[in-house]
Amino acid sequence: MDDVSRRLWNTAIDESDYTEHSEKYQTAIMDQYKLYVEMTDRMSVRRATANTFFLLVNSTVFAFIGPLTQNAPVQQDSVLVLTFGMLLVQCGAWFWLLRSYRQLNSAKFRVIGALEERLPAAPWFRAEWAAIGGGKDKSKYWPVTQLEQWVPVVFALAYVTLLVIVTVN
């Protein structure tokens, strides 16, 4: 039996746990599990929506900022510094929002794992996580949350670089 199969089935639960007496309990656990997994999925969708919003805003700003700063008079340097400062704050907020989503998702996955202990199978938390190497083997899976946090950092570095170039010239 491979590691995924070994982790999938909960040996503490078998068909004897599904007697008429315990059926309501098992149904309640399953209903809570389904609801919680759905809520976790919705949060991932919200994170992706927030990420798309910030990416769109920054890509648009970045596309327009070059031509606008090429012929900027010297007296507008303070406006540019203020604008870049606001963009850096926005990148910081984006970074921390992604970090918060990652932390909340980690907690939710631990709760899903605890709920799966009461189910006959643990497909999401134990089996799938084992199949992708627990997020440690980058050849099997590279956690998106680790990658996506670099995007606001890259934009912030680009803004700082542009600000230096614009104000030095």
Closest CA to 121 of 21, 47, 37, 45: 37
Query: Which pTM does this prediction carry?
Result: 0.76
Give the highest mean pLDDT range of 11-15, 40-44, 62-66. Answer: 40-44
Q: Which residue has the higher pLDDT, 12 or 149?
A: 149
Q: What is the mean pLDDT of residues 33-54?
A: 92
Q: Is the pLDDT of residue 65 over 80?
A: no
Q: Give the pLDDT confidence score for residue 6 in this predicted structure.
A: 74
Q: How many whole angstroms separate alpha carbon 115 and alpha carbon 45?
A: 22
Cα end-to-end distance, the chain, whole Å:
67
Tell me which amino acid residue 12 is.
A
